[in-house]
Amino acid sequence: MCPSRGWSPTSRFPKKIYPRFSRDSMGQHSDPRKGHNGNQLETEANADLSPELGMIFNEQDQDVRDVGYQKHAFNLLISNRLGYHRDVPDTRDSKCAKKTYPPDLPMASIVICFYNEAFSALLRTVHSVLDRTPAQLLHEIILVDDNSELDDLKKDLDGYMQENLSKKVKLVRNKQREGLIRGRMVGASHATGDVLVFLDSHCEVNEMWLQPLLAPIKENPRTVVCPVIDIISADTLIYSSSPVVRGGFNWGLHFKWDPVPLAELGGPEGFSAPFRSPTMAGGLFAMDREYFNMLGQYDSGMDIWGGENLEISFRIWMCGGSLLIVPCSRVGHIFRKRRPYGSPGGHDTMAHNSLRLAHVWMDEYKDQYFALRPELRNRDFGDIRERLALRRRLNCKSFKWYLDNIYPEMQVSGPNAKPQPPVFMNKGQKRPKILQRGRLINMQTNRCLVAQGHPSQKGGLVVAKECDYNDSEQVWSYNEEHELILSNLLCLDMSETRSSDPPRLMKCHGSGGSQQWVFGKSNRLYQVSVGQCLKLVDPMSRKGYVSMAICDGSPSQQWHLEN
Ligand code: UDP
Ligand code: MN
């Protein structure tokens, strides 16, 4: 993911900035809707202060927090206390600030569809756009209420909009729950700006986020662009930088992050130039409005959530467009551990939607999906004739073309397999250079990450135990391929298919992904393919089990490779 030569694991990252309350606003629960400056927000480069934001002072706080987790799956207490305006750390590469953009960029219609969103998170999304977008580029913000059931999203929201928001912010309400896919189509149908920008309802846009998205679209309206999605922790609401990765998928039709191949980052601008991505994550992207309509919007037969991001990604590439990630545009998104809502009929909408996209776009390769999901082979997926007609009308290329040209990294097995060149990774003379060697210490407990059994045992677990400085089997090497190798034997590996499994020691395969680890800021140890951080499960337990978790910078997620 970060293949430049002189790479050092931590130097890339700017100092982390934590939001915090000023002293005098602590202790009283002030309603952020009462005004923008009710809670004085300071920024402070000090990790110790961040927990204060979530401090519980009374039963009411406790309640807000508990109910918040139930309804929204993130820390509502912190979200409310943050209010509707806050500074976020500028996570862009230093080259980005020096770039200039044409003055006559197209105007954007921002479409934000929400269902039962937390009032404070929704308003922070809206205000972050208003605060950090030049007025001449902002045509409108269209909020689509997907028939939410929360009271404050009705009268209170109307009132707030009337009192505090300009006419540029519009609200459309769905009469019935449509799901995010048809919901976004509703929003797009009301839009009149040149470019559509879709955002989730719990985002915060960063400095100069829009110009770098609009510029490539102005140059070529068939270019669809995504910002880098920075991480807003669901538990702390801390905003932190995301590594620059690109979108892929697996044969279960789940989106995944992949390292960016070196060849894609070749230009003189290096990490700051837009690069091609086989798929998009879905929540945040910008697209010329006419092109969105011409390309068939979304598949309106898809329900509630899931699959639409791969569908539109395949469609863009196969039908003559291109999909880029723009590293100089950064937008934070609250990543949740679960989605706090179901679908009205309790259906598995991800499977329904994936079936539709497989039957419309994947040709013979849909068998790869059915090999993993045989129970779906004969499942009904509704009428797809219109989508098939669209594919013919747009004269789209085959899925094989897409795999060969846009995602050659994808492995195909069975009858569609292409012959793979033999891989002699790690066998020849060219072993990756070792950057650092030492003990991998959990900073919360000062314990060392070691093999649970013997370090030569394939598939063995790793655990955090008392360090033994006489034991050479506790020594890890970290190399330029971002592999962590214990005792010169096996690589720390995270299964890409089951992120709920703990990491294990596996033979080093040299092809990145599941064996790529990055030491990031806050001493986190980030696993590229699952997009999560290594965490000590229970610091009090002597068993020392570790697992992968959403990166939140907490002490149990802090690791240090000690020379
Ligand atoms: N959403 C919606 N209707 C639904 C489900 C979701 O409008 O039936 C909205 C939701 O409020 C959010 C966006 O769609 O703004 C994406 O949903 P979510 O954030 O839950 O998806 P994730 O980010 O987990 O993929
Ligand atoms: Mn979301």
Residues 112 and 232 grouped into a single domain: yes
The number of domains in the chain is 2
What pLDDT is attached to residue 531?
64
Locate the ligand 1 atom nearest the alpha carbon of residue 340 and give its number: 20
Residues 388 and 443 grouped into a single domain: no
| 476 within ligand 1 shell (Cβ under 6 A) | no
Does residue 414 belong to any structural domain of this protein?
A: no
| 72 within ligand 1 shell (Cβ under 6 A) | no
- The closest residue, in CA terms, to atom 23 on ligand 1 is 283
| 307 within ligand 1 shell (Cβ under 6 A) | no
Contact indicator for 516, 479 with CB cutoff of 8 Å: no
Locate the ligand 1 atom nearest the alpha carbon of residue 113 and give its number: 7
Q: What is the full per-residue pLDDT of the chain (563 aa) written as tens digits?
A: 222 212 222 222 232 333 323 222 322 222 222 232 333 333 333 333 354 677 778 889 888 988 999 999 999 999 999 999 999 999 999 999 999 999 999 999 999 999 999 999 999 999 999 999 999 999 999 999 999 999 999 999 999 999 999 999 999 999 999 999 999 999 999 999 999 999 999 999 999 999 999 999 999 999 999 999 999 988 889 899 998 899 999 999 999 999 998 888 867 777 799 999 999 999 999 999 999 999 999 999 999 999 999 999 999 999 999 999 999 999 999 998 889 999 988 999 999 999 999 999 999 999 999 999 999 999 999 999 999 999 999 999 999 999 999 999 998 877 777 665 544 433 334 688 898 999 999 999 999 999 999 999 999 999 999 999 999 999 999 998 889 999 999 999 986 445 568 999 999 987 666 788 888 888 999 776 566 789 999 999 999 999 988 778 899 999 999 88
Contact indicator for 324, 280 with CB cutoff of 8 Å: no
What range does the domain containing 378 cover? 96-117+125-133+175-336+343-405
| 200 within ligand 1 shell (Cβ under 6 A) | yes
| 209 within ligand 1 shell (Cβ under 6 A) | no
Residues 227 and 372 grouped into a single domain: yes
| 304 within ligand 1 shell (Cβ under 6 A) | yes
Residues 400 and 440 grouped into a single domain: no
Q: Which of 124, 157, 200, 284 to mutate to test the pocket of ligand 1 (most atoms within 8 A of CB)?
A: 200
> How much distance in Å is there from the Cα of 333 to the middle of ligand 2?
7
Contact indicator for 216, 225 with CB cutoff of 8 Å: yes
Does residue 17 belong to any structural domain of this protein?
A: no
| Cα–Cα distance, 209 to 100 (Å, whole number) | 13
Does residue 549 belong to any structural domain of this protein?
A: yes
Does residue 39 belong to any structural domain of this protein?
A: no
| Cα–Cα distance, 335 to 540 (Å, whole number) | 27
Ligand that comes closest to the CA of residue 306: 1
Q: What region, left, alpha or beta, does residue 449 occupy, with left being phi > 0 and alpha being psi -120 to 50 degrees?
A: beta
Locate the ligand 1 atom nearest the alpha carbon of residue 339 and give its number: 20
Ligand that comes closest to the CA of residue 174: 1
Does residue 29 belong to any structural domain of this protein?
A: no
What would the two tokens of residue 278 be? 């086989």
| 114 within ligand 1 shell (Cβ under 6 A) | yes
CATH assignment of the domain containing 266:
3.90.550.10
Residues 217 and 365 grouped into a single domain: yes
Does residue 36 belong to any structural domain of this protein?
A: no
Residues 392 and 462 grouped into a single domain: no
Residues 255 and 112 grouped into a single domain: yes
Concatenate the DSSP letters of all residues of 240-298 into one string: EPPP--EEEE-TT--EEEEPPPGGGG-STTGGGS-EE-SB--SSSEEEEHHHHHHTT-S
Residues 376 and 510 grouped into a single domain: no
Q: Which of 74, 110, 113, 352 to mutate to test the pocket of ligand 1 (most atoms within 8 A of CB)?
A: 113
Does residue 506 belong to any structural domain of this protein?
A: yes
> How much distance in Å is there from the Cα of 178 to the middle of ligand 1?
11
Does residue 144 belong to any structural domain of this protein?
A: no
Residues 474 and 531 grouped into a single domain: yes
